[in-house]
Every structure is written in C-alpha cells, then in structure tokens.
Structure 1
Amino acid sequence: MQASHFLSADCMDAAVTAAHAAAAILQTHALHRADLVIDFKMRNDLVSQADREAERAIVDILSQRTPDIGIIAEESGGRRGAQATWYVDPLDGTTNFLSGIPHYAVSIALVGHAGATVSGPDPLTHDTPLIGVVYDPNREELFSAMLGIGAWSNGRRIQCSGTENLSDSVLATGFPFRDFSFEHQYMPTLREAMGATRGVRRLGSAALDLAWTACGRYDGYWEMGLSPWDVAAGVALVRAAGGVCEDIHHRQPWPEGGYVYAANPQVADALDAMIAKHL
C-alpha cells in the first residue's frame, strides 16, 4: 500500500468492516456470558474468549485488506509498521461486558508514523492518528473519523460541544482500576472536578468516553494509566470533531502513554490547568 493511500476510503472501509465483524462475535457471546472462559491477566484485568475471538477477526481482516500496515492489538501484541500501524482494542469495557452492563465498544485506529507521507508533499513530522473507528454494538452507533476530513456518527457529521466554561461542563473520567501508582495524582483532580463542573461521569469505556466527547455528549474527559489501543481511535475522533485531545504531560504528540485529556476548544485549557496543578 502506498503511503498516500493511508488516508483513504479503503483503509476506512477495512476498519469499519473489522469493527462490525468483531462486534457480531461479542454480541453472540453476550447472550451466553455464563459460558465464557475468562482468564485473569492481573488484578482487575480480565480477558475472555470473546476478546480473543473478536481480536482474531479484526486482525485477519486488516491483514488481508492492508498487508503493508503494522498491527498492534491488545491481546496478541503484533508489530509496528514502518509507516503506519493499526491499534486494535477488540473490547474496550471488558468488565462491563462480563457483568452484563451494555456499555462497551470495539476500537480500531490507524496511526501514521513520523516521516510517512499521508497527504500532500510533506511527510508527517510526528506520529499522528489518521483514522479512528469506535463501534458501540448495543446502541448500534458507529463513530468514525479521518484526519483533515471530519468525524461522523452513523454517517452524520459530529462536532464537539459548544459549552464555554468548565463550570458548565459535564466531564467523563476513569478511575484507577489496575495500576494504582498514580492514585495520588488522580484523586485530587477528581475532587476538584466534582466541585468545579456540572457533573462527572464514569461509565467504564475510554473509547466511548472519547467518542461521546467528539459528538458533544461530554464537554471533556480525562484519564490516566491507559494503553495506546484504548485511546488511539478516540484521539482521531475528538481532533477530527474540532476538539483538543492531548497527552496530560505534554510530552507526546498523541497520548500514546495513556495519560489523556480531551475537550472542546473552549474548555480544553481550563481542564488542562485543573489537571496540571496536581501532577
């Protein structure tokens, strides 16, 4: 695949096809949750055969459709591509899924690497999420985005909210659940957000938190201690929807390290400042 084709309908179609295939597997298993084989990777970190089968379906489709692009997936690992890499989370919200809580998603992103030419004559100066697809099978909502073109929900263009102040904002977040080493940094941000905003929600899927920020349901979102496949597609969505999505520490070109904040442009600076004072 030529580098100029990374931002293409073919790549988007491959991701959407893979997301639907994975979701079909998840929903079939959801009908028989009691029969699932579940492994414990570490405390509060579970993986089931549903995750593995859904991931296998995604990897098979992406490998066939885009053989020259690397793939890094949550359960099976993989390899980084020379110019671009798919980041795959077959089931974001595993605890919700295993508990029968209908709030989880398939998340697939294409990240272009520094030096790759994706549009126009100039190569990328840093790694950049190019395409994001997040599919919520319970609501049958497909969120998709392409760098420089836009973001959509079921084909309808979406954009971040117009809320102008942090005090009027509804924020999403995620609590520490597996790695508690940053709890002393996170908890003060939560306490401050509780008093400084209209409300804070914690629903248990980072991919959907970012997708809902992109479509204006949330005005902002922050979380710590995630993995790149949790956030890559959501970064593409928020940015394509006119929002800000960055590394909390402002060290990485996208929050690959899993310390992320996202918001509409009016609220982003205030959210960033609220978090920064506790780091």
Structure 2
Amino acid sequence: MLTPHLLSADYLDAAVTAAHAAAAILQTHAVHHSDLVIDTKQRNDLVSQADREAEQTIIEILRKRTPDIGIVAEESGGQPGARATWCIDPLDGTTNFLSGIPHYAVSIALIGHAGCRPDGQTPLPQDTPLIGVIYDPNREELFSALYGIGAWLNGRRIRCSNTRSLDQSVLATGFPFRDFSFEHQYMPGFLDAMHQTRGVRRFGSAALDLAWTACGRYDGYWEMGLAPWDVAAGTALVRAAGGVCEDIRGQEPWPEGGYVVASNAHIATELATLITKHL
C-alpha cells in the first residue's frame, strides 16, 4: 500500500512507469503511423488508436499503483479525486506523431486539491500540480518534478535559464489551431515577440515546450486555447525548476484553462506584460 504522502517517491515512480509503458506503445505504432485509424474530434483535433491504447495503459497502471487517486484523461475523461487527481495526456503532439514528425511526448501530472496535505503536514491553499512527468521517447528524455523539491532530466537536476531580459530571450509558442476565437488577441503579442526577442519557435507540443523551458532551452513560452492535460505536468516542471508558470488571464491558480505563460523568473514580468496587454 502506498504511503499517504502525495510527494512520496512511490507516486512519482508510478507516473514514470506509466509514461514509459505508454511511450512503448506509441513507438510501436510510430513505425506504421500511416496505417493508423484516425478519428476527428473537431477541426484539427485528432485521435488515433495509438492515443487510446497508450492512455488505457497509463490508466491501468495508475489505478493499480495508486487506487486512492482520481484520474482525468484526454480521451476517456474520468473522475477527479477528493484529495488529488492524475491528469493525463497520452500523446501530446498528435499531429506531429501522425505526420511522422519525431516531436511528441507522454505527459502525466498529479494535481493536489486545495486542503490536501501533500507532505503530510502543510495543507495546500489551492489546487496545485505536485508531480510532473513528461517523457520524450524519440530523444529518450524523461523530465520529472516534485513540488517544492526540484526538477530533473534523466535524473540530473535542471533549472530554468538565467537570461535576464526579453530582448536576449528565445521563446516558444503555439499558434491557434483548433479554437480561433482568440486569434485577434494572440497575433499582436506574437508580432511583438518577433520584434522584441532573439526568436520565437513553434514545434507543436505544449508539454515539451514547457519541459524545454524548465531545463533552460527556452527562456519562456506562451500559448492559448489548450486543455488542462496539455499543461499540468509542464507547470509542475517549470515551477520546480525555479521558473514561473501561470494563467495568462490571472484567473486560476495554475493554467488549467489552457491560457499559459511560463518563463524563468527574470523575464516573467516582461513576458507577461507583452502578452497580456493585448487581451
């Protein structure tokens, strides 16, 4: 039986085990990605049997290892728990995966709910991502984080970059691809970022954008119109790596609504100002 402390290594190990198992399924399908049966949930929102099989494997492992925790997953939904909830994206970067572009990841987070005591002592004042695991099977890079303790890449501690100003920064973003209702708010910020930074990148996986911000490859990242499972694990990573990861609109304790801005601590105010002045 697992220890009741949510920051126990047992919970992190369960997430890591599930991420590796799901990635093995994805990589098996990736060899024959053109043969996958693909369904369209809505415009530019795709799902294949690879997503579904990977998600089912994650759920089976987490239910067995952590029966006391609720589960919410992208494809199958689920039920939040009273104390904490696993938030699962079995394949972040589905369009890349289906096109044979080797840039996608498995993303698993543990969200502690307000009032729970993750360390067995101090209650959380608000819902908070406590554990983040993002696994990139193409690079064999495992990103992991524990709230208040730290973040790691393949077991080595990582920190956000030390870049001090926006004009020296390399940023990542994601263009509107499914919901275009906020396009008029997004594009001015994107144009400002083009002119006021060293460059902007768009690779197509929110989870990896956040993981790469946590390890200092990017200095910052923002995107709109995402889902909780896209950003939950990455939020845990960036925060545990000494960075800032917040809801762009300032309405939620973490970017659960999918409006996310993340960066190292030095440029956080500059980047947030650049993005929010157009909202």
| TM-score normalised by length of structure 2 | 0.99
For 2:64 and 2:262, the matched residues in 1 are separated by 33
In structure 1, the residue matched to 2:254 is: 254
Report whether the alignment pairs 1:72 with 2:75: no
In structure 1, the residue matched to 2:278 is: 278
In structure 2, the residue matched to 1:128 is: 128
Q: Contact between 1:3 and 1:116, CA under 8 Å: does it hold in 2?
A: no
Q: Which residue identity is paired with 1:245?
A: C
Structure 1 unmatched ranges of 5 or more = none
Percent sequence identity over matched residues? 76
The SS at the match of 1:266 is coil
In structure 1, the residue matched to 2:117 is: 117
In structure 2, the residue matched to 1:17 is: 17
In structure 1, the residue matched to 2:163 is: 163
In structure 2, the residue matched to 1:234 is: 234
Q: Which residue identity is paired with 1:182?
A: F
The SS at the match of 2:251 is coil
The CA deviation at 1:120 is 5.0
Summarize the Cα distance change of 1:2–1:33 in structure 2 as closer, same or farther, 3 Å threshold: closer
Which stretch shows the higher mean deviation, 54-63 or 121-130? 121-130
The CA deviation at 1:121 is 2.5
Which stretch shows the higher mean deviation, 107-116 or 34-43? 34-43
Summarize the Cα distance change of 1:3–1:127 in structure 2 as closer, same or farther, 3 Å threshold: farther
The CA deviation at 1:276 is 1.2
In structure 2, the residue matched to 1:44 is: 44
For 1:2 and 1:246, the matched residues in 2 are separated by 31
For 2:248 and 2:274, the matched residues in 1 are separated by 11
In structure 1, the residue matched to 2:188 is: 188
For 1:123 and 1:242, the matched residues in 2 are separated by 21
In structure 2, the residue matched to 1:81 is: 81
For 1:160 and 1:182, the matched residues in 2 are separated by 28
Q: Which residue identity is paired with 2:65?
A: R
Tell me the C-alpha RMSD between the 2 structures.
1.0
Structure 2 unmatched ranges of 5 or more = none
Q: Which residue identity is paired with 1:42?
A: Q
Q: Contact between 2:5 and 2:117, CA under 8 Å: does it hold in 1?
A: no
**How many residues are paired up?**
279
| TM-score normalised by length of structure 1 | 0.99
Question: Would you identify which runs of 4 or more consecutive aligned residues in structure 1 move more than 4 Å?
Answer: 1-4
For 1:121 and 1:190, the matched residues in 2 are separated by 43
The CA deviation at 1:80 is 0.4
Q: 1:180-219 maps to which residues of 2 (within 5 A)?
A: 180-219=180-219
For 1:44 and 1:8, the matched residues in 2 are separated by 38
The SS at the match of 2:53 is helix
In structure 1, the residue matched to 2:142 is: 142
For 2:236 and 2:140, the matched residues in 1 are separated by 20
For 1:135 and 1:121, the matched residues in 2 are separated by 30
